[in-house]
A and B are shown apart, each in its own frame.
Chain A
Amino acid sequence: MKAWTWLKDHAVNIIAGLALFYMLAPIAVIAVFSFNDPVGRFNFEWVGFTLDAWKNPFGITELTDALITSIQLAAISSIGSTILGTLIAIALVRYNFFGRRAANFLIVIPLATPEVVIGASLLSMFLVYGAKLGFGTLVIAHIMFSISFVVIVVRSRLIGFDRSLEEAAADLGANAITTFRKITLPLLAPAVGAALMLSFALSIDDFVISNFNSGATVTFPLYIFGANQRGIPVEVNVIATMLFAVTVIAMAAVIIQQRRAEKMAEKRADDAGTTGMSMPI
């Protein structure tokens, strides 16, 4: 009876715990197996603890090259898609033009399209135009599928944007370009930053579309897929664990920053009550 009551009281926590375990267990396995000392080519069975792979994670040249390629690709394509996507979002929210509603709808279509379709159709387009498959086509492909995400993130911020701030800037003598630089962009920065991180993550992770359009270029996901045939080296687990750690640290930094901003807002509420209402003249 007592056990039943305890179970009832903690049901939510238990279920939440199980769900979290389900979500995080695969990542934990990756991290744990980065310390494995496998026998043979396959790293699927726990043999023994070693730091060998961590001592020289970048020892495999092809793996390191693939990682560098992926980081370069993600950097270029995320910056490209963030610039284009932000401008598109501004056009869609701020300006009334023929086909705006259609554009608003069409922009989300790539999100709903299966990646394999996008990959295949991009490939056929590149073939039609005789483009040489490689890093260039990968950049084009990655920018293409990231833009929709950027537009959606930036657009939602723009919709809640107080236009009188821009009017105030104009009122104080700022022309359109200065207003954009000094007011609009800084206020959009959180959304633009989020879009940048999102598109970076999408790019570094992409396999399906890249697989169609990479030519001889090997990205990190493509390397892992290829290596899978022969057996994935432990170093892959090490690098994957590092990527995961970097992500967690970046997210923690964002959350801490937000907490600080909230604390400051609370502080002002206290202060505002005490600093006088009077205005000496």
Chain B
Amino acid sequence: MESSLDLPPDEGDNGKTGHESGAEGSVRLEGVTKKFGSFAAVKDMDLEIANGEFFTMLGPSGCGKTTTLRMIAGFEQPTEGKVLIDDVDVAGQPAYKRPTNTVFQSYALFPHMNLEENVAFGLKRKKVGKSEIKKRVAYELERVGLSREAKRKPAQLSGGQQQRVALARALVNLPKVLLLDEPLGALDLKLRKGLQVQLKNIQRDVGITFVYVTHDQEEALTMSDRIAVMDEGRIEQCGGPEEVYERPATTFVAGFIGVSNLLPAVAASGSEIKIDGGPTVSTPEAADFSADERCFAVVRPEKLTVSAADEAPSDRPSVDGVVESSLYLGTSTQMVVRVADDVKMTVLIPNASEAERHQLPGGGSRVKLVWEPDHMHLTSESPEESASADTADVSPDNEKEGATA
């Protein structure tokens, strides 16, 4: 433990050897339920996170993502089920015995200690030798670019700097799993974007398993290897960023990630579905639904094109509607088209030239929305979710995604 080695991150202590060993850093939840009184925050959850993965739990506030994280960290104990880290059941083990470290939303830096002392706190608890602590702390502060501030107190730093100290304080311990609870939530957009990239690079660099909690779908899509989209204590879908965006499993996922357009439809025989008040479309995905089963066709806003209502029908599927609003977003124009009483579609039209933009149909015009059959995905209704609540709406979050899509 006291021996001098080349680079601090390559040193192990108390058997923690970081990412070198292949079997380390996996997390598994088996049938985990967490109840607070009669309220179940997490319901019978199964989850498997591989070693070295950047795994994100994404969902609205109250969906149980933070509770799940806290059960992995040991701040909460599951009411039922097992939490396994590296195949060892840690349920019942207190936080200070677990091979995990956490980056808190509030950073939770110790205000009475300077940065060095903050970062050294974990190593001191593990009785790491003085010279080694010094070296590893210096290395970690260097990594996050705060070497010059080592003697400062947290209150003397900006929010972004504090966040980086919190990261260094956790990483210096070489945890098997690093847990991050909305670590960028308190920062402004520009800083957040920069740190997203840096965080992802660090994760790639150290190879430690990251479990990341956020309600920001864009953040999740940018950084994650896999995303678990959660709602009401359950995982709605678990998959890669492309998978959850392009092929949302439920209407909730479709609505939560990006702006999505949900067209109510019914599965017809074989490989066809019939969109309510619209055309019958042939798609291989229809095979997943039995005949007459209700489903939703999801078409992302950037994949719809707008054409005049009287244009001759092509072989591509389309629906008719009335333009409700048109919003200039800089890189694109966002148009909301009402296709049925309770169904609105959002269309994103790239802004090529000003002249072209001025020719777009204005509010009240009748238009036809056309898409490629390949760009349509079928999804089933989320349990306990009503279809109308999920039709595309211009919430601030969605708008942001739309603008950058």
Contact = CB atoms under 8 A, between A and B. Distances in A.
Interface string B303-332: 000000000000000000000000000000
B5 to A, nearest CB: 21
A281 B198 contact: yes
B112 A272 contact: no
A175 B96 contact: yes
21 contacts: A162-B108, A165-B111, A170-B74, A171-B95, A173-B122, A173-B173, A174-B125, A175-B94, A178-B125, A183-B110, A187-B112, A264-B153, A268-B153, A271-B156, A272-B156, A275-B149, A275-B158, A275-B161, A276-B145, A280-B142, A281-B198
Interface size range on B against A: 35 or more
Contact of B104 (A164, A186, A264): A164
B148 A279 contact: no
Contact of B202 (A267, A275, A276, A281): A281
Contact of B125 (A167, A172, A277): A172
A280 B155 contact: no
Given A165-B110, A168-B108, A171-B100, A268 B202 contact: no
A168 B104 contact: yes
Contacts of A128: none
Interface in B188-214: 191, 194-195, 198, 201-202, 205
A278 B145 contact: yes
B104 A167 contact: yes
B108 A167 contact: yes
Contact of B173 (A172, A175, A183, A276): A172
A170 B121 contact: no
A279 B94 contact: no
Contact of B198 (A264, A275, A279): A279
A146 B144 CA distance: 48
A92 interface: no
Contacts of A165: 108, 110-111
B178 to A, nearest CB: 11
Nearest to B187: A277
B73 interface: yes
Interface of B: 73-75, 94-96, 100-102, 104, 106, 108-112, 121-122, 125-126, 142-145, 148-149, 152-153, 155-158, 160-161, 164, 169-170, 173, 191, 194-195, 198, 201-202, 205
A110 B100 CA distance: 47
Given A172-B122, A277-B160, A281-B201, A268 B155 contact: yes
A274 to B, nearest CB: 10
B1 to A, nearest CB: 15
B157 A272 contact: yes
A172 B104 contact: no
B126 to A, nearest CB: 6
Interface in A157-189: 162, 164-165, 167-175, 178, 182-183, 186-187
Interface of A: 162, 164-165, 167-175, 178, 182-183, 186-187, 264-265, 267-268, 271-273, 275-281
Given A165-B110, A172-B122, A279-B145, 17 more contacts: A162-B106, A164-B106, A167-B102, A171-B170, A174-B125, A182-B121, A187-B112, A265-B156, A268-B152, A272-B161, A275-B161, A277-B158, A277-B191, A277-B194, A279-B164, A279-B195, A281-B198
A182 B121 CA distance: 10
Contacts of A186: 112
Given A162-B108, A268-B152, A171 B73 contact: yes
Nearest to B70: A167
Contacts of A175: 94, 96
B95 A167 contact: yes
Nearest to B119: A172
A276 B158 CA distance: 10
A172 B171 CA distance: 10
Nearest to B120: A172
- 6 closest cross-chain pairs (CB), A and B: A268-B156, A272-B158, A172-B122, A173-B125, A168-B108, A164-B108
A264 B112 CA distance: 13
A265 B112 CA distance: 13
Contacts of B125: 172-174, 178
